Structure 1
Amino acid sequence: MDADFADLVEAVGRAVDLAGVAIIALGALAATARFGLDTRRRPRFHDAYRAYRQGLGRAILLGLEFLVAGDIIRTVAVAPTFASVGVLALIVVVRTFLSFSLEVELENRLPWHPRPGQSA
């Protein structure tokens, strides 16, 4: 495989990883700032805390999607080996479990259950 192509794919993978990290960091910062404002406005701390956790969780979920995409780009696009695909599969399984766990916690329901007020 051409070295220039491999370098380009590696650079794109790193850029996507960087975007994922930036999304998590900026999302955490934005959720924290919103939490600070909400604790002044909302009479109940619990409501502000729940909104904070949801905002932070959404940022983490989106960032994880970018991190998985970066891993896929770097692993599959440049001469995949059985070992590298196996490592990628393990990373995807762990991150998928984290995403699933966060989604359940944020929505307070399993993904295949209808939202409150929705018909099945």
Structure 2
Amino acid sequence: MAFAEWVSMAARLFEGAGVAVMVVGTVFSAVSVPLRLRRETRESLFRHFREKVGRSILLGLELLVAADIIRTVSEEPTLQGVLVLGLIVLIRTFLSFTLAVELEGHWPWKSAELKLKGLKQEEPRASAQRPGEAPQGPEGGR
């Protein structure tokens, strides 16, 4: 098998995996709704379903972008091919970006900032302990 054929097959496998992740993820998300029906509110179920489907689509899109990138190795670069590929990657990346914002509730570059804020909020509790004192529990230990 020639290198170009092998790379083309790898790209097709990545495409298939991307589509499979989206379909299987959506099916599992749908199946989990009736299983949670008695324990959660409808609003909570909808949020859970939407989040799981969104994450499946996000992962599937990442695999499809990877397939597009792999495909560039096997094809003869033409201006039209590069433009079409660039447009496809741009659209898929934009979709991934907007889905990530919707699922996380903030811009991707805010994740590190929010994690740092969470750590800084926890520091005062840990540093409030004086040397030789026993650690305090949630009720203050007194």
How many angstroms apart in 2 are the aligned matches of 1:5 and 1:117? 44
How many angstroms apart in 1 are the aligned matches of 2:57 and 2:23? 9
Q: Percent identity?
A: 44
Structure 1 segments of 4+ aligned residues over 3 angstroms from their partners: 114-118
Q: Which has the higher mean CA deviation after the structures are superposed, 109-118 or 48-57?
A: 109-118
TM-score, normalised to structure 2, is 0.74
| Structure 2 residues without counterparts, runs of 5 or longer | 119-142
| Structure 1 residues without counterparts, runs of 5 or longer | none
Q: Name the residue aligned to 2:47.
A: 50
How many angstroms apart in 2 are the aligned matches of 1:80 and 1:40? 56
Q: Name the residue aligned to 2:137.
A: none
Aligned residues: CA RMSD: 2.0
Instruction: Pick from 25, 29, 32 the counterpart of residue 31 of structure 1.
Output: 29
CA deviations on 1:53-108 (whole Å, 9 max, x unpaired) are 11000000000011111111112333222221111110111011111111111112
Task: Report the count of equivalent residues.
Answer: 117
Structure 1 counterpart of 2:55, one-letter code? R
How many angstroms apart in 2 are the aligned matches of 1:27 and 1:10? 26
Q: Kindly name which structure, 1 or 2, has the bigger radius of gyration based on alpha carbons.
A: 2
How many angstroms apart in 1 are the aligned matches of 2:98 and 2:11? 25
Looking at both structures, which has the greater relative contact order when contacts are Cα pairs under 8 Å and sequence separation is at least 6?
Answer: 1
TM-score, normalised to structure 1, is 0.86
